[in-house]
Chains A and B, each alone.
Chain A
Amino acid sequence: MKLFVAGLSHKTAPVHLREKFAIAEASLPKALQELQKLGATEAMVLSTCNRVEMAFSVPEPVQPNDIFDGFLRNWQGSANAFEGHLYRLESKEAIHHMFRVAASLDSMVVGEPQILGQLKAAYAVAKSEGTVGGLLETVVTRAFNVAKRVRTETGIGQMAVSVSYAAVELARRIFGSLKGQTVLIIGSGKMGELAAKHLHRSGASKILVTNRTHERAVQMAAVFNGRAVDYTSFTSMLHEVDIVIASSGAQHYILNRDNMQRAIALRRNRPMFLIDIAVPRNIDPAVNDLDGVFLYDVDDLEGVVNANIQERSKQAQAAEAIVLKELDQILTRLKLEEVTPTIVSLQGQLEEIRAAEVAKALRRMPGLTPEQVQAVEALTKSIINKIAHGPISELRRNAGQPDGSQAVELIRKVFHLQA
């Protein structure tokens, strides 16, 4: 049995090709059936915005490339449509690739957690269609474990790599839980709204919105189940707010040191987190010197993101090492699984011959004492073990090798083993 993975990803193909190749969720069962019709024993299809690939297993003499080409012809109209953008991986490389994909090492944003969920969904479809249940299933379920191990043993998924999520991460470092925190949004910039959405989803329940155009504040407040606040007087209620997101189009500072000093004194030094994603900036940078005030502008947040990306790539190296170790382990296991049936039937065959011959001989020598019978049994067992030793070690040595199947076949022929 051989494993094969082929497809295209954000690394090999631009988006217009990926979307052309994409397989809609509703069509996945049909695609799986198509692959099986073409000769695949097992099949699984993963189709996301960054990756469309199929994994399948085939019996030894079948050429997996033919199946894939056949699929391209039937499904996409031509086998050459995506040539130059496709990857085709077999056996060890295929398993390595699947482990890396599951561990989010092949993702556009390394360490992003969605890919594992997508892979699990793809597996669930294949499972319900009955197209997994052998080598492919073993590899996929192992890939889930590898992903889990990578996630727990490295910090690869812990650091925010987008500006709006970095804001949430920082808010968590300041307040711990965001539950019950109050957020004030000044202005109606898109980035500000996105950051507020993330904070809201992370537990910040009370959202206040202020805008020079009051109607827009009311509109945005409705999105968050929040409250619109009068633009001319919002500074007087700053002390009630834990997090401020400023993204207004104002050409000057709308929050200065005096505003913040008053607010922080009224809060009895409870910390405040100010996020200034407006350009030009809305908040005087000098407020960051005040005790308990943490001000981050766009550049600061991007600095955090860049540092996190660097840290992630460092963690990715550790993750790659884990993946390689796991790859070694599964290959050893698969190799043994491959030759185990031959070893078992060889041992069975030899034992059958031995038992028959011993019985025949004992019938001719009825006067043997029980001790003598035991000695004959031991002698013959020892002989067949010695005979079997050579072919069995040869089988184990050849397991998983490129020409391994020929050696297995030869031994099966020599000993007349049933297929």
Chain B
Amino acid sequence: MGESGILWLRVAAGLYSFGLLDAIITVIRRREALFRVALTAFALGAVFQLVAIVEMGMAQGRLPVNDIFETMSFLGWIVTVVFLAIHYRYNAASLSVFIFPLVFVMTLVGALRNPVSPWSNSVVRSTALAVHVVASLLGYAALLFTASASVVYLMQERQLKRKNKPAPNRPSLFRVLPPLGVLDDLISKSLGIGFLFITVGLVLGIIWAFVETGTKWIGNGSVLIAFVTWAVYLALVFFRVSAGWRGRKTAILSIIALTCCLVTWIAHAQLQRRLLP
């Protein structure tokens, strides 16, 4: 595989990161402020990725889909092109909340195949790991807020639907529940901020593992579960923004995401001890 091919792929990943930023801003502020910039960066990224794929193909003399890195990159490029085509035809901006972060992570994984030099010093190494852990934990904490607010939302919604029929044994609890509007705002903000942190955590985790262990991390179960957690989080963000999911559906999905986080955390609590003796 050509060295410059990997370089173009990394440039593409950098451009795709604008899309990730746009997705996060859209969730938190509920408007697509960066969408035009992100879309342009996204189209440029697709060009760079195509160059990378062509170069790699020429260097190898065959289609570069031989391992998980190459297939991931190739799939990411296909998704990008299909999204751009759909957007051109149907103006499907809301899909971008899902597609932008997904393509970014796929391309990032694809760009992390070649071994790089080991950590220049141990401080950088442990700082990277610490930021990864803290960002992930902040992401989990934010999700905890999302999930609790969703459950309270469900309770308040049910109470309002039941029209406050006097419940003789527990009448006062529901009087103190926050309004749906406030809960909804809390869910949006905590979801956006949590997604930002968990994505930063994931990206740093991937880079860290890549520098540390080369390509071996791909088969690691705890890494896989981290990806699944991120994907569930992404789905939650997507359905919330594009379909306006509220109430029951958000509550269920956020509880699933929270469970995934718990599993990831349990899996990684061991990992850190192993990595930093």
| Interface contact A294-B244, CB-CB below 8 Å | no
Establish whether residues B244 and A170, one from each chain, have CB atoms under 8 Å apart when the complex forms: no
Verify A170–B246 contact, CB threshold 8 A: no
Which one of B124-132, B159-167, B209-217, B218-226 is at the A interface? B159-167
Which DSSP category, helix, strand, loop or mixed, fits chain B's interface?
loop
A177, A268, A271, A303: the one within 8 Å of B163 (CB):
A303
- Give the distance in Å from the alpha carbon of A270 to the alpha carbon of B160 in the complex: 15
Residues of B within 8 A of A159 (CB): 175
- When C-beta atoms are compared, the residue in chain B nearest to A178 turns out to be B181
User: Considering only CB atoms and an 8 Å cut-off, how many residues of chain B contact the other chain?
Assistant: 23
**CA distance in complex: A49, B274 (Å):** 79
A326 at the interface (CB under 8 A from B): no
Q: Contact check: which of A174, A270, A307 meets B164 at CB < 8 Å? A: A307
If A303-B165, A304-B163, A307-B164 touch, whether A175 touches B180 (CB-CB below 8 Å) is yes
Chain A count of residues within 8 A CB distance of the other chain: 26
Q: Does B247 contact A (CB under 8 A)?
A: yes
Check B156 for interface membership: any CB of A closer than 8 A: yes
Complex Cα spacing A158 to B175, Å? 10
Set B161, B164, B182: member contacting A176, Cβ < 8 A: B182
**Is A332 on the interface with B (CB-CB < 8 A)?**
no
Contact yes or no, B180 A271, CB < 8 A: yes
A197 to B181, alpha carbons, bound, how many Å?
A: 22
CA distance A373 to B258 in the complex (A): 86
From A158, A270, A307, A311, contact of B244 by CB (8 A): A270
| Nearest-CB residue, chain B, relative to A171 | B179
Q: Is B145 an interface residue (CB 8 A)?
A: no
A174 & B243 in contact (Cβ 8 Å cutoff): no
Knowing A303-B165, A310-B166, the reply to whether A176 touches B246 (Cβ < 8 A) is no
Highest count of chain A CB atoms <10 Å: which of B156, B180, B248: B180
In the complex, A414 Cα to B166 Cα: how many Å? Answer: 67
6 pairs across A/B with beta carbons < 8 Å? Answer: A177-B181, A291-B247, A291-B248, A292-B246, A303-B163, A311-B171
Binding site for A on B (CB under 8 A): 156, 160-161, 163-166, 171-172, 175, 177-182, 185, 243-248
Which residues of A approach B to under 8 Å, CB–CB? 155, 158-159, 170, 172-177, 267-271, 288, 291-292, 294, 296, 300, 303-304, 307, 310-311
Instruction: Give 15 new A-B contacts, CB below 8 A, not counting A173-B180, A177-B181, A268-B243.
Output: A158-B175, A170-B160, A173-B156, A173-B160, A173-B179, A174-B180, A176-B181, A176-B182, A176-B185, A267-B244, A268-B244, A269-B243, A270-B244, A310-B166, A311-B172
Please name the 5 residue pairs, one residue from A and one from B, whose CB atoms are nearest each other, closest first: A268-B244, A176-B181, A176-B179, A269-B244, A175-B181
